[in-house]
Amino acid sequence: MPDDGKLWTRSIYLEANQSSAGGKLSFINKKTEAEPVSGLTYANMSSDVGTQYPLIKNGDTTFLGRVAGGFSRDYSGLAEGQHIPEVFLGCQVEHQITQRQKILGAVEYAHDVTDFGRRRIRTLAAWEVLLDPDKNVSLRTGVLESSNKTPTGEQATNLNYTVDLIWKF
């Protein structure tokens, strides 16, 4: 990244979902984030594997509950180089506005199972537009807030604006 004094964030989010006959879904999340904080580069990677279930599904609105297990790893800070086992809880709501537009919100909560003083919370509010129905390509824009709390009580909160190109296959 250029050293121009501006704030920047690099993020990679990968998610795979698989449906079953009973409506339950299994999922895998992989997230990698890097950004400068006070002149240092903060980087975190997390992976979760679990299940999600549609708690409410009526017409244009879907509400999913998620539970998983996984780990995170910090590449800077107090837990540098440690794999931290976590329990993951989350929910997501989607509402179809038109055939090509929807709004969505999500909350993810990951807690260290070995030290209850450490946790991560991510909140997303977004608007998604289907650009090409044949290729299933969408454009999503939104606001993402992430909050990390360490066992020493330090808390870092970041607010990011996102623009994502999504290809579902």
User: Is 74 a domain residue?
Assistant: yes
Residue 127, domain member (yes or no) = yes
Which one, of 40, 35, 157, 27, lies nearest residue 91 by Cα?
27
Closest to 111 in 3D by CA, of 90, 88, 92, 83: 88
Q: Note whether residue 10 is domain-resident.
A: no
Q: Which amino acid is at 118?
A: R
Residue 21 domain-assigned (yes or no): no
Model confidence pLDDT, tens digit, residues 19-40: 555 556 676 766 666 655 544 4
Tens-digit pLDDT profile for residues 66-92: 898 888 877 665 556 678 898 999 999
More confident residue, 17 or 56: 56
Amino acid at 70: G
* Higher per-residue pLDDT: 32 or 116: 116
How many domains are contained in the chain? 1
Q: What is the pLDDT of residue 131?
A: 96
Cα torsion through 141, 135, 28, 53, rounded to 10: 80
pLDDT above 50 for 3: no
3 state DSSP class of 48: strand
| Residue 157 reports pLDDT greater than 90 | no
Q: Is it the case that residue 126 has pLDDT exceeding 80? A: yes
Give the pLDDT of residue 70.
Answer: 87
**Closest residue by Cα to residue 123 from 162, 84, 166, 70:** 162
Give mean pLDDT, residues 133-148. Answer: 90
Is 136 within a domain?
yes
Q: What percent of the chain has pLDDT over 90?
A: 30
Residue 121's domain comprises 52-167
Instruction: Count other Cβ atoms within 10 Å, centred on residue 122.
Output: 19
CATH number of the domain bearing residue 133:
2.40.160
